[in-house]
Structure 1
């Protein structure tokens, strides 16, 4: 019974992480919609960080915005809703995932819900941030995109750490075998 309560509390905390990602995204988009005119450019940090509002009917960097409505709805709304539902199920049903992996999945789900919500309610996703790193420039993005990229980064770090731990374990096992053989 105690393990089930711990799992439920853990899942509630994961839902809070999803909700925080979603909430930050939606609040920032509400502010952007109310205060930034379409294509207006507001310089925040010299020419490096600029606010400019666009409504994106496609996916990342407007990919798919020219698809027929039915196909675009299927690929950019229905399929992602199914994937997000699977993400929730995966989090709930796999109790022993590494903490970093759980948090990464929460960031992916929170960001995904933020963009899907926009697509369903507004017919497009509000993007409003642009960065220029001198060597390269980003497309125009939003906080949901930041959550998604952060989630991907956390999953990558988790996988790299797991791979390192596996290598270290294999090396220690090999060393143990060599030591036993030499004894």
Structure 2
């Protein structure tokens, strides 16, 4: 079976996204002292107080949402539902031959980031988050990881692509 350039592109972006995320989490777990019940995570300042690295195990979703749900509901919302959504998105991009390269890149980044975080939840029971950005109150994030960054970047690219297409149509 010969793979198309398109399928190879989707596969490479997805695998690269997963690899970068998993390698970064391994490095963080090995080198930054994590948070415990009695101690806060070690904080490493990369650029003053604007860009900080730390090691936090997140049992919930974005910003820890859902971490206090009962275990059954957490499995449904944070494992089963994302797996179905990722499968649907993968099926969509493989079937829709009209998607441009930017959209393919964006969707593959979203799938890779989603798979990486679902993998962590299955294997570790939590997701390792480690980046925090605070630009003096102008812009401030929660604690996130490379998978989250890939999903967010993919979504931003899709928004720009859809605006570009809408402008061309008008």
2:20 to 24, 29, 33: 24
Match of 2:124 in 1: 122
Counterpart-to-counterpart distance in 1, 2:67 and 2:139: 24
2:159 to 145, 156, 178: 156
What is the root-mean-square deviation of aligned Cα atoms in Å?
Answer: 1.3
Match of 1:68 in 2: 70
Match of 2:139 in 1: 136
Counterpart-to-counterpart distance in 2, 1:46 and 1:17: 32
Rg larger in structure: 1
Match of 2:11 in 1: 15
Gaps of 5+ in 1: 168-183
Return the offset for 1:102.
1.1
Match of 1:37 in 2: 33
Match of 2:37 in 1: none
Number of paired residues?
163
Match of 1:172 in 2: none
Counterpart-to-counterpart distance in 2, 1:56 and 1:145: 12
Match of 1:102 in 2: 104
Counterpart-to-counterpart distance in 1, 2:166 and 2:96: 20
The secondary structure found in structure 2 opposite 1:52 is: strand
TM-score, normalised by the number of residues in structure 1: 0.86
Match of 1:53 in 2: 55
My pick for the range that moved more, 41-50 or 90-99, is 90-99
Moved over 4 A (4+): none
Gaps of 5+ in 2: 35-40
TM-score, normalised by the number of residues in structure 2: 0.92
Counterpart-to-counterpart distance in 1, 2:145 and 2:135: 17
Higher helix fraction (1 or 2): 1
Return the offset for 1:115.
0.6
